[in-house]
């Protein structure tokens, strides 16, 4: 197994680079990004994939679910991220309602994201039920990442955000769907909130990279929502989440200090004015 090489080997991450990383056992890193400034930092730090997730609906817009975000809003976020990126592969979620109707509608949505945002690829939730759309989009030259397990756009069907595919029947269906997505030509698949043993099985049986979020340690890469891993959100505490900062507290304290400095006429001082 190769060790982490700070990714100096590649100028730009492409779908082919990701496949090569899986083949040589190098783990793939992926985070969400929705704006220019944060995407600049994450790309400079060497993240492999930036996902313009429809989680923007939650963390940027404050909605309870991912359902309300529109295609126009996704294009706005994606074009901001694209302007920042020099190296990472940018994947953009097709939002709820922009692809479930039929494959022509799905293709039109994917083309809008590629043309108007300048994205590198798109992500879609689902398996068998969207396979015609996946094939049509890929045949138009657009790389597609799949997403199975907990698919938040179907939250009202599931009813809860609990771990998926714990029972054999659902696990077998997930493996079948992963194979269908691979055969259709997807370049990678996200597996969300499933048992680690199932994540391991899929990563072993499928040749394309499997990126997990709450899918255990044996998959080919890991993705987290940036706001969660930076500790900007206080309330979201799933077992799979590792927090690398406590930004809520840091921003809160900095804001408190700013307010105090302004009230005390301490800011600006002599050297901070013209």
CB 3 to ligand KIV: min, Å: 26
CB 267 to ligand KIV: min, Å: 37
Please indicate whether residue 129 is annotated as part of the active site: no
| C-alpha torsion sign, points 154, 35, 242, 18 | positive
Residue 145 and residue 160: Cα distance in Å, rounded? 24
Binding of ligand KIV by 225 (CB under 6 A)? yes
From residue 147 to residue 186, what is the string marking binding to ligand KIV with x (rule CB under 6 A)? ----------------------------------------
DSSP code, position 150: S
> Please, which residue, 180 or 213, has the CB nearer to ligand KIV?
213
Nearest Cα residue to 147 out of 130, 170, 168, 171: 130
Strand partners, 122: 92, 144
Instruction: Pick out residues in 75-134 that bind ligand KIV (CB under 6 A).
Output: 93
Residue 93 and residue 124: Cα distance in Å, rounded? 6
Nearest Cα residue to 223 out of 59, 78, 32, 84: 32
Which stretch in 8-16, 17-25, 47-55, 154-162 sits in contact with ligand KIV by CB under 6 A?
A: 47-55
CB 123 to ligand KIV: min, Å: 7
**Catalytic residue selected from 26, 125, 182, 192:** 192
Give me the residue label for tokens 């190296």.
87
CB 11 to ligand KIV: min, Å: 26
- Residue of this chain nearest to ligand KIV (CB atom): 53
Binding of ligand KIV by 223 (CB under 6 A)? yes
Q: How far is CA 112 from the centre of its chain?
A: 19
The C-alpha angle 103, 106, 107, rounded to 5 degrees, equals 85
Number of residues that bind ligand KIV (CB under 6 A): 11
Which residues here bind ligand KIV, judged by CB under 6 A?
32, 51, 53-55, 93, 190, 192, 213, 223, 225
């Amino acid at each position: 197994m190769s060790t982490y090489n700070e990714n100096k080997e590649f100028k730009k991450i492409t779908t082919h680079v990701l496949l090569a990383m899986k083949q040589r056992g190098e783990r793939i890193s992926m985070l969400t990004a929705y704006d220019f400034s944060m995407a600049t930092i994450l790309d400079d730090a060497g993240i492999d994939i930036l996902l313009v997730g429809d989680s923007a609906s939650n963390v940027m817009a404050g909605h309870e679910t991912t359902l309300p975000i529109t295609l126009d809003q996704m294009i706005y976020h994606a074009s901001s991220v694209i302007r920042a990126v020099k190296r990472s592969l940018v994947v953009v979620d097709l939002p709820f309602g922009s692809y479930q109707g039929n494959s022509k509608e799905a293709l039109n949505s994917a083309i809008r994201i590629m043309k108007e945002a300048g994205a590198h690829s798109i992500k879609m939730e689902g398996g068998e039920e969207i396979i015609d759309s996946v094939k049509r989009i890929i045949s138009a030259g657009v790389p597609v990442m799949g997403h199975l397990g907990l698919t938040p756009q179907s939250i009202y069907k599931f009813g809860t955000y609990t771990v998926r595919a714990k029972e054999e029947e659902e696990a077998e269906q997930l493996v079948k769907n992963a194979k269908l997505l691979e055969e259709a030509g997807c370049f990678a698949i996200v597996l969300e909130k499933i048992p680690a043993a199932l994540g391991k099985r899929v990563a072993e049986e499928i040749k394309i990279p499997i990126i997990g979020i709450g899918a255990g340690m044996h998959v080919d890469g890991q993705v987290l929502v940036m706001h969660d891993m930076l500790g900007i959100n206080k309330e979201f505490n799933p077992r799979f989440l590792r927090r690398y900062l406590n930004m809520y507290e840091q921003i809160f304290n900095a804001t408190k200090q700013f307010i105090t400095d302004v009230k005390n006429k301490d800011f600006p001082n002599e050297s901070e004015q013209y």
